[in-house]
Homo-oligomer: A and B are copies of this chain.
Amino acid sequence: MADTDSNSTPERKRGSGVKMVYDLLRDEILDLVLPPGSPIDEVQLAERFKMSRTPIREALVRLAGEGLIETLPNRSTMVSNIDFLNLNTFFDALVLMYRVTTRLAARNHRPEDLAIIRGFHADYAAAVEGRNALTMISTNAAFHAAIAEAGRNPYFTSLFRRLLDEGRRILRLYYRSYDEQFPQRFVDEHAEIIAAIEARDIEAADRLGKAHAEQIVAQVQKLFSRDVGIDIAL
C-alpha cells in the first residue's frame, strides 16, 4: 500500500516478470504454502506482484502444463490435488526413474557432474544435520535431479523432475511435524550412490538406486497407512 516510489516505477526487466511469478508460485505449491485446492486468483496475484494479468496468466499456463494447477474453464483456477488413491502409480514411476537415471549417470557422467552432485550431497547432509525438514526435502530432490542431469537423457530427466516435484509435496505433508525422521541412512546411501557412479559401476548404481527408492517409498507408505484418516482430508 505504501507507495514509496511515487512516480510509477515499473523498474523490472522485460521478460523477468513471468519467470519470477512462475518460480515463486511453483515453490509455494511444492512447499505446501499453497496447499492442494487453494484458489489461484489472477487479479490478486497481479496486485501482489504489481503487474498486469497478462504475465501472471502466462505463468499460470505454464504451471498448468506441468500439472501443478488445474483450470476450470471460465471459472476458478486452483492448486492440483494430490491423488492419494493412485499413489502406487506415482511410486512405480518414481522407482523406475531412480533406477534409470542413476544407471545412466554411472555410464554417462563427466567429472564436472560429480562436483555438482557432491555439492547437493553436502547441502542435504547439512540439512539432515540441522534437522531442517523443508531443506532436506528440496536438497534431496536437487541431489537426484543432478544425478539425472549427469545421465544426459533429457526425456528421463524431465519426467524425473516432475516426479521429484510431486514427491516434494507428498513428503512435505508428512514432515510437517515429524522433522527428525529423515535418517542418516539416506545420507549414507547417497554416498554409496555417488561412489557407484564415480566407479562407473552401472549395475551397482542401478541396484543402489532401486534400493534407495524403495526405501523412501516404504517410508512414505508407512507414514501414509498410519494416518490415512487424517491426511486424506487434504
Contact = CB atoms under 8 A, between A and B. Distances in A.
**Interface SS of chain A:** helix
Contacts of A62: 61, 65
This chain: how many copies in the complex?
2
A178 interface: no
A58 B62 CA distance: 9
A111 interface: no
Interface string A134-165: 00000000000000000011111011001100
A234 B49 CA distance: 42
A96 interface: yes
A14 interface: yes
B159 A89 contact: no
Interface residues of A, number: 28
A96 B89 contact: no
B159 A90 contact: no
Nearest to A88: B153
Interface of A: 14-15, 54, 57-58, 61-62, 65-66, 73-74, 86, 89-90, 92-93, 96, 100, 104, 152-156, 158-159, 162-163
30 contacts: A14-B73, A14-B74, A15-B73, A15-B74, A57-B58, A58-B58, A58-B61, A61-B61, A61-B62, A61-B65, A62-B65, A65-B65, A65-B66, A86-B154, A89-B152, A89-B153, A89-B154, A89-B155, A92-B104, A92-B153, A92-B156, A93-B153, A93-B155, A93-B156, A96-B100, A155-B159, A155-B162, A155-B163, A158-B159, A159-B159
